[in-house]
Structure 1
């Protein structure tokens, strides 16, 4: 179908302008230097579930504050590391203090010393943050290795536990004698 010349000429001009603009835009993108990503640390150690922790409260937590002591036992492994670490254990004994199940949420500071299967240890200074998301208690520990193997490295520990007993306790309908969490640990050089 032949179209009048008057119609074809503006179409060609518009097409030419679009193509020229596209070429200039592409040239500008190629000539602009791309931003480099910030250097990331090297993952020195990772431990995945079935890594776990068990926290025991004596006496069991209720929704009324009372003097309670707690013990957290960690089992790390399987772990992957270039240093030969494949597993580790740690026990954190918390002195008796006034606590209720409402205290399970929020933030705190902890020092944790892990003994690895190689016989070496790592002492970690950690900040703890715990929240309930749906039916899950999510506890995130971040900090650094202050001494021993991986000294100076950043630490990230994610603990996940069912929140059913906590929710029941905060409603005044039960107690929290213990918590079982799955654990993922990453130690990264800075």
Structure 2
């Protein structure tokens, strides 16, 4: 409460940004933990066996039970092949690209909000410090320099917003980069899985 009462109005904005950022972090963490926690090393031999038996329906069923982006992309490629029976590698690759692109918005969901929190809160904190310093020097001009505590207290309160902004921004930036790394890993996994599946149809 000390920070809120002494940091001024902008501290409430920083608090709101922290709540929003925390909400995004929790939502993204749950998404990646629940939906993208698939082990494709276990799924690949099952798929390979089903395809070798020409049981595409079984392969699609196995993919349908998996929530990961890679599984959805492979399911689209298999479904396309099953419907068209095409061995045109270019067509299969195009279908794989389309399916992968359709998964990216879900992977990147709310990341723009976390980016705003990470990059904006330090600026809000700095704005609070600048306005606080202006008020502190205005107080000195009114009361004179006979009491140094007037300036010291004003500066102390002004710096609270900068500290608050950094306290919110640093974890937000860490999680933003962490989730971007997870997104890159999933995109690479989709590309790798698609290439492996399409290479099988080259035979």
Q: TM-score, normalised by structure 1?
A: 0.26
Structure with the larger strand share: 1
Structure number with larger C-alpha Rg: 1
Give the structure with the larger helix fraction. Answer: 2
TM-score by length of 2: 0.24
